[in-house]
C-alpha cells in the first residue's frame, strides 16, 4: 500500500549544515558540550531501568493478556479487554466476485479503495486507492462534519472509476467500512461507537450507529451506495490476509493506535448467548489497546496520560503505538533539557509543544549511522528547534531506542499472550503447525527497529522451536482489501457459498 510513500521521512531533505551558518549558534553551544556528557547519563540509565522488559516481565504481560482475554469472553465488561464480537463468522474463500469499495477511517489517514474481484481464478483483477490525511480540525468537530468529509471523499473517488471496474446492472456499489475505533457491533453492518480514541474528540457520535452516520452523510450528498459490512481494521487485516493464506489466525494493527483480533471458537465464548455460527468459529476484536497490566511505566507515561483526552484509558496503546512514542520521547528530552541542559541554552519553546516530535522522526533519527549524527542534529533542530552536539544526539538516539524497544517488546508479549490463550483452549491449534500473525499499520510497516524488537520478544517468549512455526508477516494492504472482501461476503446482491 502506498502509505510508505506518504509517511517515510526523507532524511535527505534536511539541511544539516544550515545551522552552522547562523552567527549565534556556536558560542551558545559551548556550555552544553560539557554538561551533557556528565549529568544526563544518570537520567538515561534510570530511563533504561524503568523501561526494561526482561523476559520474566514479558512473560507476566503475556500471561496477563491471556487472562484478560478470558475474563472479557466470560462476561460483558469482565476485563479491560472488551473482546468484541465482530459478526464475521466466515472468512473470505476466494470465490468472491465483482466490484466492491472499502473506506478506512484510521487515526491519521482516510483511505478509499475499490477492487474488482475475479473469484478463485481471477482473484484481485484490479484495484485502485486514494489516501488523504484526516484534517486536524475534524478530530475535534461535529459528527456531521467528520462524516460529510468521509462521504465527499468517497463521492470524489467513485466519480473516477476506471474501465477495469464493472458494476452489474441492477446492483449498487457496496462498501466495506473500516472504522478503527472501539465499536460495539450490533450486526455485520451496524455498530455503536463506544468511545473515541487516538486523540479524537468528535461530538455527537458516541452511542450512535456509525453506519447510520455514514448513510445520512451519503444521503445529504445524494450518493447512492450501500454499506454491507462495518469492519474493524484488525478484522479487515485478518480477512485480507486469510484470502491469500489459510494459516492466518491472528491480526495485529500497529499504526497510530493498536488493536488485535483472532479466530475464536464459538464454544469458548461464555458471554455469547444467541449467536449461531455455521463455521463454529468467529472473529473476536480484542480492543487490546485498553490492556493495562504489568506494564513498565514511567513518570513520562503517567504525565502524558494525565494530559490526554482519555486519561486512564488505552494504556497499552499509549505505550506501544505510533501516536504516542514520539510524544513520550519528547517529554523525556524536555526534562533532560530543563534539568541537565542537554541542548545547552537552546530555547525550549518548540520542544515544549505536545506531539511536536512524531514517531516517524524517531524512526528517521534511528536510521542515522554517521559518526557525528548529522541527521539527528538536523531533525532536532528542524522539528524541535534545539541545537545539539554529537554527545547530546547520542543520548537522544538512546532515548528513542529505549522507548521504541519497550514498545516493540511489549507488543510482542501481547501477541504471545493471544497465541498462548488459543493454544491453552485447543491443544495444537497454534504450536506444532504453521501459524501466521498478519501485521499492518504504519508503525510496523516503517520502523525496522520496532519490528526487530517485537520479533525478538516473540522468539524469546516462545523459544526457538515454537517460534519457528509462528510467522509474523506484514499484510500489505490487508485491511483495505479485507474490508472489500467482507463487503462481498455480505453482499445483498451476490452469494459466494459454493
Q: Which residues are catalytic?
A: 198, 233
Binding mask 128-167 for ligand ADP (x = CB under 6 A): ----------------------------------------
Region from 23-31, 80-88, 213-221, 357-365 binding ligand ADP, contact rule CB under 6 A: 357-365
CB-CB neighbours of 452 under 10 Å: 13
Query: Cα torsion for 62, 67, 72, 74, to the nearest 10°?
Result: 150
Site membership for ligand ADP, residue 8 (CB under 6 A): yes
By CB under 6 A, the residues from 293 to 322 that bind ligand ADP are 322
How far, in Å, CA of 399 to CA of 386, rounded? 16
Residue 209 is classified by DSSP as: B
Residue 412 lies near ligand ADP (rule: CB under 6 A) = no
In the bound complex, which residue of the shown chain has the CB atom lying closest to Mg ion? Answer: 106
Least distance (Å) between residue 487 CB and Mg ion:
17
Told to check if 367 binds ligand ADP by CB under 6 A, we report: no
Which letter does DSSP use for residue 431 in this model?
A: T
**Shortest spacing between CB 21 and ligand ADP, in angstroms:** 29
440: left (phi over 0), alpha (psi -120 to 50) or beta: beta
From the list 446, 455, 466, 490, which residue makes contact with ligand ADP (rule: CB under 6 A)?
446
- Distance (Å, whole) CA 490 – CA 189: 9
| 438: helix, strand or coil | strand
108 binding partner (options Mg ion, ligand ADP, none; Cβ < 5 to 8 Å by kind): ligand ADP
Of 390, 373, 364, the C-alpha closest to 13 is 364
- Among 98, 106, 141, 199, which residue interacts with ligand ADP (rule: CB under 6 A)? 106
SS3 229: strand
Q: Which is nearer to ligand ADP, 67 or 139 (CB)?
A: 139
Quote the least distance from Cβ 178 to ligand ADP, whole Å: 9
The number of angstroms, rounded, from the C-alpha of 30 to the middle of its chain's C-alpha atoms is 42
Q: Which of 442, 478, 480, 482 binds ligand ADP (CB under 6 A)?
A: 442
In a 3-state reduction of DSSP, which class is residue 337?
helix
Alpha helices in 222-314 (DSSP H): 233-242, 299-307
DSSP-based three-state secondary structure for 126: strand
CA distance 487 to 311: 35
- DSSP 3-state helix, strand, coil percentages of the chain (rounded to 5)? 50, 20, 35
Smallest separation (angstroms) from Mg ion to the CB of 177: 13
Residues of the shown chain interacting with Mg ion in the complex, contacts defined by CB under 5 A: 106, 180, 233, 255
When asked if residue 359 is in the footprint of ligand ADP (CB under 6 A), the reply is yes
Binding mask 222-261 for ligand ADP (x = CB under 6 A): ---------------------------------xxx----
Residue 420 Cβ, how far from ligand ADP at the closest point, in Å? Answer: 26
* Residues lying near ligand ADP in the complex (CB under 6 A): 3, 7-9, 106-109, 180, 255-257, 322-323, 359-360, 363, 441-443, 446-447
Amino acid at each position: 500500500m502506498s502509505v510508505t510513500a506518504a509517511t517515510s521521512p526523507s532524511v535527505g531533505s534536511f539541511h544539516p549544515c544550515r545551522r552552522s551558518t547562523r552567527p549565534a549558534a556556536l558560542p551558545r553551544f559551548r556550555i552544553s558540550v560539557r554538561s551533557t556528557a556528565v549529568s544526563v547519563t544518570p537520567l538515561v540509565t534510570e530511563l533504561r531501568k524503568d523501561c526494561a522488559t526482561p523476559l520474566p516481565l514479558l512473560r507476566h504481560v503475556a500471561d496477563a493478556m491471556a487472562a484478560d482475554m478470558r475474563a472479557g469472553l466470560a462476561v460483558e465488561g469482565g476485563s479491560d479487554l472488551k473482546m468484541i464480537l465482530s459478526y464475521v463468522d466466515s472468512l473470505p474463500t476466494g470465490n468472491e466476485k465483482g466490484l466492491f469499495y472499502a473506506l478506512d477511517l484510521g487515526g491519521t489517514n482516510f483511505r478509499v479503495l475499490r477492487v474488482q474481484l475475479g473469484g478463485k481464478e481471477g482473484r484481485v483483477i484490479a484495484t485502485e486507492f486514494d489516501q488523504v490525511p484526516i484534517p486536524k480540525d475534524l478530530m475535534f468537530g461535529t459528527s456531521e462534519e467528520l462524516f460529510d468529509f468521509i462521504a465527499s471523499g468517497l463521492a470524489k473517488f467513485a466519480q473516477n472509476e476506471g474501465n477495469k471496474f464493472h458494476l452489474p446492472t441492477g446492483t449498487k456499489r457496496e462498501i466495506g467500512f473500516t472504522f478503527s475505533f472501539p465499536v460495539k457491533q450490533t450486526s455485520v453492518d451496524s455498530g455503536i461507537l463506544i468511545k473515541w480514541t487516538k486523540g479524537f474528540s468528535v461530538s455527537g457520535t458516541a452511542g450512535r450507529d456509525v453506519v447510520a452516520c455514514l448513510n445520512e452523510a451519503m444521503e445529504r450528498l445524494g450518493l447512492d451506495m450501500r454499506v454491507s459490512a462495518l469492519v474493524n481494521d484488525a478484522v479487515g487485516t485478518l480477512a485480507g490476509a486469510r484470502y491469500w493464506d489459510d494459516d492466518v489466525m491472528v491480526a495485529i494493527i500497529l499504526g497510530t493506535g493498536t488493536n488485535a483480533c483472532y479466530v475464536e471458537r464459538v464454544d469458548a465464548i461464555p458471554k455469547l448467548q444467541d449467536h449461531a455460527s455455521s463455521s463454529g468459529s468467529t472473529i473476536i476484536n480484542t480492543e487490546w489497546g485498553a490492556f493495562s497490566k504489568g506494564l513498565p511505566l514511567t513518570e513520562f507515561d503517567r504525565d502524558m496520560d494525565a494530559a490526554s483526552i482519555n486519561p486512564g484509558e488505552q494504556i497499552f496503546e499509549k505505550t506501544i503505538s505510533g501516536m504516542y512514542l514520539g510524544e513520550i520521547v519528547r517529554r523525556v528530552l524536555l526534562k533532560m533539557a530543563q534539568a541537565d541542559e542537554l541542548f545547552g541554552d537552546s530555547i525550549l519553546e518548540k520542544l515544549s509543544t505536545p506531539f511536536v516530535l512524531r514517531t516517524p522522526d524517531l524512526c528517521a533519527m534511528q536510521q542515522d549511522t554517521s559518526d557525528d549524527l548529522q541527521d539527528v542534529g538536523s531533525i532536532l533542530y528542524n522539528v524541535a528547534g534545539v541545537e545539539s552536539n554529537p554527545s547530546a544526539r547520542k543520548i537522544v538516539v538512546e532515548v528513542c531506542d529505549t522507548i521504541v524497544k519497550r514498545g516493540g517488546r511489549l507488543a510482542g508479549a501481547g501477541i504471545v499472550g493471544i497465541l498462548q490463550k488459543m493454544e491453552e483452549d485447543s491443544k495444537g491449534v497454534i504450536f506444532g503447525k504453521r501459524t501466521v500473525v498478519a501485521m499492518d499499520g504504519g508503525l510496523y510497516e516503517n520502523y525496522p527497529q520496532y519490528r526487530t524488537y517485537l520479533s525478538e520478544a516473540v522468539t524469546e517468549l516462545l523459544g526457538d522451536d515454537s517460534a519457528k512455526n509462528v510467522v509474523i508477516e506484514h499484510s500489505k494492504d490487508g485491511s483495505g482489501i479485507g474490508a472489500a472482501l467482507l463487503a462481498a461476503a455480505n453482499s445483498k446482491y451476490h452469494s459466494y457459498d459454493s
